[in-house]
Structure 1
Amino acid sequence: MDTIFRATDHPVAERFERWAELVPRVFAPLRLSVAEPDRHRSELRVAELGGTMAYYVASSTSRVERTDRMIRQADPDVVRVALVEHGDVVFGQDVTPRVVEPCRLYVSTSWRPFELSGAVPGGGMNVTRSAVVPFGRLSMPRGQVERLGGVAVPAGGLTDLVTASLRELTTHDFGPADASRLGSVLVDLVAALVAHLLDRTSDLPAQTREQALLAQAEAFIQANLGDPGLTPAAVAAAHHVGLRTMQRLFRRQDRGLADWIRHRRLEACHRDLTDPRLLSQPVHLIGRRWGFTDPSHFSRVFRAAFGSPPGDYREHQTPTSSPCTAQLALAPSGDLP
């Protein structure tokens, strides 16, 4: 991400004035106000993800308004999905303002007025991570999407995946190719979340539904790598689709579903085996931790991927070796793990 504003880079007397000038240029015409301008603190980071924008915003107590007049002045025609990371945010758009608590998402639209205020006990900063998606990429009727303005999104399922994606995309830097790909995935996830909230999933293009399902399946696999029962059939059943459907989605990524699970398990084992803090842990326990219940099988597939059995591989690695330096050569599709 690019840091485009940090209040501490400016004289104290100018910090809020410069912040209040910058924010409307970055987002849309807005009015910002604070009770104590001389005590203002803020930071803004931005990432461009192939036509989708991701933002990290931290700010001390403030109030933000977008009025009808401001909308007529300029409307980027976007939908914003925001994660409140720290502090409480009071947000209202077409509904009575309500508190959005930390670790919750809320939705807003650029073409309807809103008001927002945030505060943190003890004088800290509110932290929000958000994605701004062009409305036209959601394939949803405008009147329907307006119903979500100001709605705090229930946790679980797609919400948790969007939350994790926002944290990832607003924490790390990505090259142009990865940024474009991740932006497309983010749009599909936001579109799927909006459709789910509106009970209009069937209105989504087939490609969007499939990309959202693939992202959910990948997250499910990552969260359950240590379960020996994590098989392609289990992944499909967890997402209420047929095994052939799930396998087809992964084949489109140039990797079979069984290969993908084994690949992630081997990556996790490699990371642990080259971690100096885990040198006292037996090799077979590391394999078991990541779903390889048979030590002989673990040794065989690890050797096929990295060129030597896990014990020998660990012995010849330096304490500073990084998993990123090894090339993982996948074996042909087959039984897991």
Structure 2
Amino acid sequence: MEKVFDSNDFPARDALSAWEKATADAVMPTSPKLIGTDVFRGWLSTMPLGAVQLSAMAYSSYLTRRTPRLIRASDPEILAVGLTNSGTHVIEQHRHRAALQPGQLLLFESSRPFETYADGGNTLIQFPRALLPLPAGHVDRLICRPFPGDQGLGRLLADFLIHLTDDGPTYTSHDAARLGTLGLDLVTATLAHFLEREDDVPCDSRQRVLYLRITSFIERHLGDATLDAAEIAAAHHISVRSLHRLFQQHGVTVRSWVRGRRLERCRRDLADPSKRHVPIHAIATHWGYPQADVFSRAFRAHTGMSPSAFRDGSCAAGGR
């Protein structure tokens, strides 16, 4: 993520006009107006992902409009899905009005006028409308219609946006196009689900989304020591053979992926000073390793160190 605007970098009288320019360049041109205050506070960070872009932002109370005049002057012809992170957001577009709660998702577009009252924070994924492989007339039915980000595919999309924002510094430029494709796949699958048109989603997109759904399921059940391929496959209504084939397409086996994620969670907790008081065996058991000797061998093979030596080294490094 690259920060492209911070109100602290401008005199108070110039902050709103600077925000207007920054959002016009990074998202789309709009006309903002302060509500209940004379000073604008906010920030905006962006991450280009090929033809897709991720934006994270926060702002004080303001009203923004995208007018017919602004559309005639500049229309990038994009669709955007916003995840409300905090605060109050009310938007009107396409003859609909939505009052969003934190955790909800909403689709809007650049080619129709809209008006938004906003105070809080938002994460946005935007992309050219032409890239969405769903019939335009059907997509229009979802514009300015909130949908949940805490269940099903909505949750998967919301988690993807949050993790991408939080983990942005760990990604390289080579990851950008792949992540953009995954983001568009998730948006497509989520919208198709709410339209009940899953068959419109291209086969390769469905496969990539299925892989994300399965890995997300595994992440939520890492602490279950009995988790195996049969249970994972059954939870997603596919055969065990299809599950193994799907993971092979990503260059891993189901067992190695689960083992790697468990060991990474253990490594993270052992390096956390706030968990110094938690016994090693308790951490291992929490992440699906109830047998101490099995965990110790696996952890040494993964890191080259015993769990106790790794924890001691991490705490000593943190104390310097």
TM-score exceeds 0.5: yes
Q: Secondary structure at the match of 1:170?
A: helix
Q: Secondary structure at the match of 1:38?
A: coil
Residue of 269, 273, 277 corresponding to 1:272? 269
Residue identity in the other structure for 1:160 = R
Residue of 123, 127, 143 corresponding to 2:121? 127
Question: TM-score normalized by structure 2?
Answer: 0.90
Which residue number in structure 1 is paired with residue 211 of structure 2? Answer: 214
Query: Which shifted more, 229-238 or 145-154?
Result: 229-238
How many Å separate the matches in 2 of 1:14 and 1:282? 54
How many Å separate the matches in 2 of 1:93 and 1:127? 20
User: Cα distance 1:308–1:70, how it changes in 2: closer, same or farther (>3 A)?
Assistant: closer
Trace 1:146-295 onto structure 2 (pairs within 5 A): 146-154=140-148, 155-171=150-166, 172-173=168-169, 174-295=171-292
Q: Could you tell me how far 1:141 is from its partner in structure 2?
A: 0.9
Residue identity in the other structure for 1:161 = L
1:96-131 deviation per Cα after TM superposition (whole angstroms, max 9, x unaligned):
312101121111122222211124xxxxxx211110
Runs of 4+ in 1 over 6 A off after TM superposition: none
More helix by share: 2
Identity of aligned residues (%): 33
How many Å separate the matches in 1 of 2:175 and 2:92? 35
Which residue number in structure 1 is paired with residue 135 of structure 2? Answer: 141
How many Å separate the matches in 1 of 2:42 and 2:272? 37
User: Cα distance 1:308–1:100, how it changes in 2: closer, same or farther (>3 A)?
Assistant: closer
Which residue number in structure 1 is paired with residue 16 of structure 2? Answer: 16
Which residue number in structure 2 is paired with residue 306 of structure 1? Answer: 303
Q: Could you tell me how far 1:34 is from its partner in structure 2?
A: 2.0
Aligned residues: 315
How many Å separate the matches in 2 of 1:40 and 1:316? 47
Which residue number in structure 2 is paired with residue 61 of structure 1? Answer: 61
Q: Secondary structure at the match of 1:89?
A: strand
1:139-188 deviation per Cα after TM superposition (whole angstroms, max 9, x unaligned):
01111111111011123011112112212222332320123322221111
Q: Secondary structure at the match of 1:85?
A: strand
User: Cα distance 1:10–1:205, how it changes in 2: closer, same or farther (>3 A)?
Assistant: same
How many Å separate the matches in 2 of 1:136 and 1:204? 14
User: Cα distance 1:32–1:247, how it changes in 2: closer, same or farther (>3 A)?
Assistant: same
How many Å separate the matches in 1 of 2:316 and 2:157? 33
Which residue number in structure 2 is paired with residue 334 of structure 1? Answer: none
Residue identity in the other structure for 1:238 = A
User: Cα distance 1:229–1:20, how it changes in 2: closer, same or farther (>3 A)?
Assistant: same
How many Å separate the matches in 2 of 1:301 and 1:20? 53
How many Å separate the matches in 2 of 1:303 and 1:21? 53
Question: TM-score normalized by structure 1?
Answer: 0.86
Residue of 293, 296, 318 corresponding to 1:296? 293
Query: Which shifted more, 279-288 or 11-20?
Result: 279-288
Residue identity in the other structure for 2:46 = V
Which residue number in structure 2 is paired with residue 49 of structure 1? Answer: 49
How many Å separate the matches in 2 of 1:262 and 1:69? 56
User: Cα distance 1:41–1:299, how it changes in 2: closer, same or farther (>3 A)?
Assistant: closer
Asked if 1:95 is matched to 2:125, the reply is no
How many Å separate the matches in 2 of 1:57 and 1:270? 32
Asked if 1:39 is matched to 2:39, the reply is yes
Tell me if structure 2 keeps the 8 A contact 1:109–1:146.
Answer: no
User: Cα distance 1:7–1:282, how it changes in 2: closer, same or farther (>3 A)?
Assistant: closer
User: Cα distance 1:243–1:321, how it changes in 2: closer, same or farther (>3 A)?
Assistant: farther
1:21-46 deviation per Cα after TM superposition (whole angstroms, max 9, x unaligned):
33223322322222467311121111
Tell me if structure 2 keeps the 8 A contact 1:34–1:62.
Answer: yes
How many Å separate the matches in 2 of 1:131 and 1:283? 40
How many Å separate the matches in 2 of 1:58 and 1:272? 30
Which residue number in structure 2 is paired with residue 115 of structure 1? Answer: 115
Q: Secondary structure at the match of 1:168?
A: helix
CA RMSD of aligned residues (A): 2.2
User: Cα distance 1:318–1:71, how it changes in 2: closer, same or farther (>3 A)?
Assistant: closer
Any gaps of 5 or more consecutive residues in structure 1?
Answer: 120-125, 323-337
Residue identity in the other structure for 1:91 = I
Q: Secondary structure at the match of 1:160?
A: helix
Q: Could you tell me how far 1:62 is from its partner in structure 2?
A: 1.2
